[in-house]
């Protein structure tokens, strides 16, 4: 065996794998979007397997509530950019691969440029706007995308947009979910998630990437695997061999008004801003800065609480749920002025 491959001797020894498959991994360029519960284990095993170039895209920072499932981080990383920390840790794990961090938020303006230099994309996102955006960009670019999702005790894995033997493409995310009202689907911060599930699904995503790159095994194209962590049972649901959707352009990203910690503090001092805590009851009991309190899925039931003559600032731990709340308010009460606290409560500690 070539000395450069000695690190990978156990996988090279696999029947049907060999040095040729390992060379394919070394020349592969994989982008992991979302360095969270799914992205951390997926990226860790892809780095360990010898993927030549590994991109990590995430504009968020590490928070204390991430640590139970986002295994690349530790308490000293709280407040630091996830993509930068992840790349640093993965480079230490495997100095022989190239790590690239992308810390700008992925939008309709930059998504095609971000994914352009990669062969395959791992979807580790936790919001629907980015998930649909990635899916559509992958379809328009002719790139496969490995989908993963987790909620409470259940996870899903699939591979979208694979080129079939007849030249047609396999189904993509919109074949299964044409559109979703994200405000009615709680995320992990609201509904909870068992941490081991993130590891299981993230590893499955890495497994699909390795199979695709090395042309070994049968990838989950045209089907979706659903896994139940409580029963340890899984089932594979067939979707179909060929996509039935027609994606011709990207949907423009929604512009969510945000406010900085400094602007918030100034507005509160002048009594011109009104706070809305969008976190769970448990999070609010642990720490809060006051204001109205609704969980994300309760906002629509409390629209009569908002005054058209006031300006509101929604806040959560990271800014993601508050952004969804502002987006909902824009749809339901377009005349009400509302902002999301950029970076969430963590930004108050950093300023």
Please identify every residue annotated as catalytic: 188, 316
Residues 208, 214, 216: CA angle, nearest 5 degrees: 70
- In the three-class reduction of DSSP (H, G, I as helix; E, B as strand; rest coil), residue 291 is classed as coil
* SS3 readout for 58-83: CCCECCHHHCCCCCCCCHHHCCCEHH
> Rounded CA gap, 292 and 314, in Å?
9
- The answer for 103, left when phi > 0, alpha when psi is -120 to 50, beta otherwise, is alpha
**In the chain, what is the greatest distance between 2 CA atoms, to the nearest angstrom?**
73
DSSP 167-185: SPBPP-HHHH-S---GGGS
Instruction: Identify which of 88, 124, 105, 116 has the alpha carbon closest to the alpha carbon of residue 29.
Output: 116
Secondary structure (DSSP) of 195-226: HHHHHHHHHHHHHHHHHHHHT-S---BTEEEE
Count CB neighbours of 242 within 10 A.
13
114, 31 in Cβ contact below 8 A? yes
338 with 314: CB under 8 angstroms?
yes
């Amino acid at each position: 065996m070539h000395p450069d491959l000695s690190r990978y001797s156990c996988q090279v020894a696999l029947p049907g794998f060999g040095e040729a498959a390992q060379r394919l991994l070394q020349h592969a360029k994989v982008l992991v979007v979302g360095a969270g519960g799914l992205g951390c284990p997926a990226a860790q095993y892809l780095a360990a397997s010898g993927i030549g170039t590994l991109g990590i895209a995430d504009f968020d920072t590490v928070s204390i509530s991430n640590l139970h499932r986002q295994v690349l981080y530790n308490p000293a990383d709280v407040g630091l950019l996830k993509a930068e920390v992840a790349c640093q840790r993965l480079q230490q794990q495997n100095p022989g691969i190239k790590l690239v961090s992308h810390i700008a938020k992925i939008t309709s303006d930059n998504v095609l440029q971000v994914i352009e230099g990669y062969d395959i994309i791992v979807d580790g996102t936790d919001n629907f706007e980015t998930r649909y955006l990635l899916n559509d960009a992958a379809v328009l670019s002719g790139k496969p995308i490995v989908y993963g999702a987790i909620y409470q005790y259940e996870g899903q894995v699939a591979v979208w947009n694979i080129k079939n033997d007849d030249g047609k493409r396999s189904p993509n995310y919109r074949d299964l979910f044409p559109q979703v009202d994200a405000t009615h689907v709680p995320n992990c911060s609201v509904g909870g998630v068992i941490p081991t599930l993130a590891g299981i699904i993230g590893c499955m995503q890495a497994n699909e990437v390795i199979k695709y790159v090395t042309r070994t095994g049968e990838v989950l194209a045209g089907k979706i695997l659903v896994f139940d962590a409580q029963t340890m049972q899984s089932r594979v649901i067939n979707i179909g061999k060929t996509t039935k959707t027609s994606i011709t352009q990207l949907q423009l990203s929604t512009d969510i008004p945000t406010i900085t910690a400094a602007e918030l503090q100034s507005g509160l001092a002048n009594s011109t801003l009104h706070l809305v805590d969008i976190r769970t009851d448990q999070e609010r009991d642990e720490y809060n800065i006051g204001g109205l309190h609704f969980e994300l899925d309760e906002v629509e039931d409390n629209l009569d609480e908002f005054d058209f003559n006031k300006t509101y600032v929604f806040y959560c731990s990271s800014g993601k749920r508050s952004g969804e709340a502002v987006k909902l308010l824009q749809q339901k009460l377009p005349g009400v002025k509302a902002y999301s606290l950029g970076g969430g409560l963590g930004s108050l500690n950093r300023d």
